Structure 1
Amino acid sequence: MRIPYSISKSGLKAQQNKLDTIAHNIANSNTAGYKQKTVSFRELLVNDINEQDALLSGNVENLGLNRGVLSSPNGTDFSTGSLIQSEENLSLSVNGEGFFGVQDGNGNLVLTRDGNFTLDGNKQIVNSRGQVVETNLTIPADAWPEGEVQIGSSGEIFIQTEEGQVSVGVIPLYNVENPQALIPIGDNNFTIAPDQADTLINSVDNPAAFGTMLTGVYENSNVDLAQSLTDMIMAQRAYSLNAQVTKSTDEIYSLINQFT
């Protein structure tokens, strides 16, 4: 493929990747605990141009021609999203570092910032997707006294009875040494990369490494709609410009072919 076509094709593909990522972020702007994805761009192979290749001005320095651009999702923005007041007194949000642990469909531990918790019929604390939240219980759920289940700012689970509060366990927080190494697996869940498994810590053993919990609120997505729409407009314009380059290149080659 001729270089001009190759460059504009790579630009179209790179901007399409960015548009797809932005659209995914916008679609999840009201999803509890969602963390927006980010996109990075980089040049492909750059060929230096010297006086043997073209007539250059004496003021030109470090001139080169690259083979296009490549874009790819390069990480997750783990900044805190807005807080939503909840009607559920079990809802939690993390003020600082840390993730809640929940069980996936196979019973494996996965991490999430979705703290929109409720109590199911089996007295298990679950999130908005019905996934069971990891807890360290000191009293089994089937032995809990009658009363209202509440959660404190330290993650302590207790039952408010007529006689007073009875502590029945705690909800721990989890984290790894490098959160960017966490692998998104959908449903706002992240799994731990194999090379990060040994760095997993929890707030029970390392309380100083974690933030506190806010009760009665849960964390919404951290997508800034205004910024996302601005980024989408810029990506659309860049896509259109690359399409125009392709069209212009085709017209130029058509003229050249008429004289050959």
Structure 2
Amino acid sequence: MQALHTAATGMAAQELNVQVISNNIANLRTTGFKRQTAAFQDLIYEHIRRVGAQASDQGTILPVGIDIGGGVKTVGTPRQMTQGTLSQTGNDLDLAITGEGFFKIQMPDGTFQYTRDGTFQMDNTGRIVNAQGNPVQPTITIPQNASGLTVNQQGQVSVTLPGAANTSTVIGQIGLTRFVNKGGLQPVGNNLFIDTPSSGPPQDGLATAEGFGTINQGSLEQANVDVVSEMSDLIAAQRAYEMNAKVISAADQMLQSTTALFR
């Protein structure tokens, strides 16, 4: 009975939907996290009577047809790259981006990955690095005994050096990278993304330049997850799963009734 298979595809789709929602909720407090949604499409149809076919010898045309759907399939889990709210931390190396752009991180193998997580630290050589110890690009090294670290909205990093108490010295420039289709970036964990053919090539630039956002020192971007919306979606997914299970139960009862007629 086709209804059994159709309802089974619906249950599988809603199971994946719940997995996506649960990941969003789990990352509610993850810095720079971007929520995902599950996207679905209907499966191929069995055309028992094709709409527009000839209905009689007189040439009349069927105004409607009979099409039996095969169920549903998941076509993607697109990531919503909307801006998250900024949370003030007061830490000099906590940076948040308002607008377009990603921080560029150099990996140990020389490749680059990208993030909206500006929770940066200073390693034992004075370099500005992410939580995994990989340097932010371009690489910036803070001199020993420097004080008064500031990062302006353009990403310029300045410090006060010993013997120059009233003078700030620019020691580097944090860059930003943008993509034509930022939703096409591939997540790899640790709040990092890599570029793909879908995202387009990385476009390096500077904060406040045309097409790029600004950098905010002493702040972090929070996840763009709305817990109320996620809970509402979770309830809807659960009810959809239950209704598909009910269809399977109903189809089973119909098959039992049919079988009983032949006993």
- Which TM class, normalised by the smaller chain length? 0.7 to 0.9
Alignment correspondent of 1:152: 152
Alignment correspondent of 1:55: none
Residues 80/196 of structure 1: CA separation in 2 closer, same or farther (3 Å cut): closer
Q: Is the 8 A contact 2:154 2:206 kept in 1?
A: no
Q: Is the 8 A contact 2:95 2:217 kept in 1?
A: yes
Alignment correspondent of 2:55: none
Residues 239/105 of structure 1: CA separation in 2 closer, same or farther (3 Å cut): farther
Q: Aligned partners of 2:138, 2:45: CA distance in 1, in Å?
A: 53
Q: Report deviation, 1:73.
A: 3.2
Q: Is the 8 A contact 2:154 2:207 kept in 1?
A: no
1:233 aligned to which of 229, 232, 235: 235
Superposed CA deviations along residues 54-86 of structure 1, whole A, max 9, x for unmatched, are xxxxx9845422000112433110001111111
Alignment correspondent of 2:106: 103
Residues 192/85 of structure 1: CA separation in 2 closer, same or farther (3 Å cut): same
Alignment of 1:13-32 (within 5 A): 13-32=12-31
Q: Is the 8 A contact 1:47 1:65 kept in 2?
A: yes
Alignment of 1:1-260 (within 5 A): 2-50=1-49, 61-137=64-140, 141=141, 146-161=146-161, 162-194=165-197, 199-204=201-206, 207-260=209-262
Q: Aligned partners of 1:10, 1:103: CA distance in 2, in Å?
A: 42
Percent of paired sites with the same residue: 28
Q: Aligned partners of 1:104, 1:224: CA distance in 2, in Å?
A: 32
Q: Is the 8 A contact 2:160 2:167 kept in 1?
A: yes
Letter in 1 for 2:186: I
Q: Report deviation, 1:147.
A: 2.0
Alignment correspondent of 2:59: none
Q: Is the 8 A contact 1:21 1:73 kept in 2?
A: no
Residues 205/188 of structure 1: CA separation in 2 closer, same or farther (3 Å cut): closer
State TM-score, norm by structure 2.
0.86
Moved more, 30-39 or 122-131: 122-131
**Between Structure 1 and Structure 2, which shows a larger proportion of helix residues?**
1
Letter in 2 for 1:147: S
Q: Report deviation, 1:159.
A: 0.7
Moved more, 122-131 or 151-160: 122-131
The higher radius of gyration belongs to 2
Q: Which consecutive residues of structure 1, in runs of 5 or more, have no partner in the other structure?
A: 52-58
Letter in 2 for 1:232: L
Superposed CA deviations along residues 38-63 of structure 1, whole A, max 9, x for unmatched, are 21111001223439xxxxxxx98454
The alignment covers a number of residue pairs equal to: 249
State TM-score, norm by structure 1.
0.87
Q: Aligned partners of 1:120, 1:46: CA distance in 2, in Å?
A: 59
Q: Report deviation, 1:117.
A: 2.0
Q: Is the 8 A contact 2:20 2:37 kept in 1?
A: yes
Q: Aligned partners of 1:248, 1:258: CA distance in 2, in Å?
A: 15
Q: Aligned partners of 1:60, 1:235: CA distance in 2, in Å?
A: 35
Q: Aligned partners of 1:63, 1:88: CA distance in 2, in Å?
A: 65
Q: Which consecutive residues of structure 2, in runs of 5 or more, have no partner in the other structure?
A: 51-61
Q: Aligned partners of 1:23, 1:120: CA distance in 2, in Å?
A: 34
